[in-house]
Structure 1
Amino acid sequence: TVTVELPAHVLGTAIAKTLFAAGNDDLRPVMSGVFFQLTPESLTFVATDAHKLVRYRRSDFAAPQTAEFIMPKKPLNLLKATLGSNDDLVEIRYTEQNAQFTYDGVTLICRLIDGKYPNFEGVIPKNNPNRMTVDRGAFTGSVKRVSLFANKTTHQIRLKMAGNELFISAEDPDFANKAHERLTCSYEGSDLEIGFNSRFIVEMLGNVDSSSLVWEFSAPNRAGLLFPDRPSEDGEDLLMLVMPVMLNA
């Protein structure tokens, strides 16, 4: 049995930032939970459904020894609902099969998901020469408006970066719907056009709380990376990844 102690607000934030990205596929149970990777250097929480991925890392907390386990969604939802946002310590004890969370007079015991978590570091593209910084509120509003005109099955929107301008567009030829918006952004890199599922983007934006965002891209067929645009003053590191959709010409 290994034991780790964490402030309630840290665990609560880690769950809230990752849980939405976990999959619902019963055939791939390992991806239907949140991966806890606790080491003497940092604590990392990861969730992915193969379309999007979130990695939330805290380098200001650590575990006495390395441990990795996959927590199912249900107990995480319970934890999220009952954890306070304070500094009270939560004790996490875990064995091969079970995890036990003790806090504030509550003890929650759950079975862990069996299996090996996929190598998530391997899918995060390392070399992304194209970098865009944009206001979060303006970007979120624009994506939500434009996506109303997107195809109802693919939810595809198109981002086009050129100079210091970002064009966000969507069209649904079946209903002759089309929307097009322009935002100013700060962009370094070659002109790029890339397509995404707007529902994934909106979900991810809802979990970023900085006033502006950083996007990094390598190519239209490679994953886009999304970060909050601010230094992690409290050892907090949030990375989100979303797979593109093929643009129909």
Structure 2
Amino acid sequence: VATDGHRLVCYNRSDYKANEYTGDIIVPRKFLNLLSGVLEGKESIQLWMGANHVTASLGSDMYFSRIIDERFPDFESVIPKDNDKELTVDKNQLLSAVRRVSIFSNRSTHQIAIRLTKDRIQITTEDPEKSSKAQEEIKGNFNGDDLVIGYNASYLKDILSHVEGDQVVIKLKTPISAALFYPATQNENSNLTMLLMPIRLND
């Protein structure tokens, strides 16, 4: 699990073995970035958890990191359980549209608005400071009442770019509630949930 207060990612895997270890640890982001760079194409990795350090073994290479002695936020209470509106859309089409529209968004807020109807998604932005605005429309499948919700385009692009597969499923509740993002098809031994907080739209 990782979060910055605006976004949250929860990734679960079941295809691993542990020697009776149970518990939670917090590790620095730099350590995970380092491992992600050397793990590509590798089949397995071994991890050892100590009192103050974590060790990763990959072949003949060993990587060490300190454990952060802090309490992680109660992320399970943040993930909504009652998002009853569901949008299914082509991930690449949505990501491309957000990228193009966001070029004209405010440089500070990166604010965009997404209007959802039964089979259409309209993405708009307007920046009075630069007298610029943009609008795009793509197809989608939305099973709720019409909804307009605002997002930081940079955060939204980041989440969409990490969704595997061609389709993304987005579960929503209200314009001020957190949205949940999932791949349309989850892998057999893993499960990915991403959360994004909306922003209030300017009148």
Q: TM-score range by the shorter chain?
A: over 0.9
* Match of residue 112, structure 1, among 48, 67, 90: 67
TM-score where L is the length of structure 2? 0.95
CA–CA distance in structure 2, aligned partners of residues 233 and 175 of structure 1: 44
Matched residue count: 202
Within-5 A mapping of 1:1-249: 46-63=1-18, 64-87=20-43, 89-230=44-185, 232-249=186-203
1:47-98 residue CA offsets vs partner (Å, 9 max, x unmatched)? 10000011111123353331210110222222122224232x3221112211
Structure 2 residue identity aligned to 1:197: N
The root-mean-square deviation of aligned C-alpha atoms, in Å, is 1.2
Structure 1 residue identity aligned to 2:195: L
Structure 2 residue identity aligned to 1:82: V
Deviation at 1:160, TM superposition (A): 0.7
**Which one has a larger percent helix, Structure 1 or Structure 2?**
1
Structure 2 residue identity aligned to 1:211: D
Give the corresponding residue for 1:20.
Answer: none
Structure 2 unaligned regions, length at least 5: none
TM-score where L is the length of structure 1? 0.78
Structure 1 unaligned regions, length at least 5: 1-45
Structure 1 residue identity aligned to 2:24: E
Contact 1:60 1:234 in 2 (8 A): no
Q: Which has the higher contact order (CA 8 A, sep 6+)?
A: 2
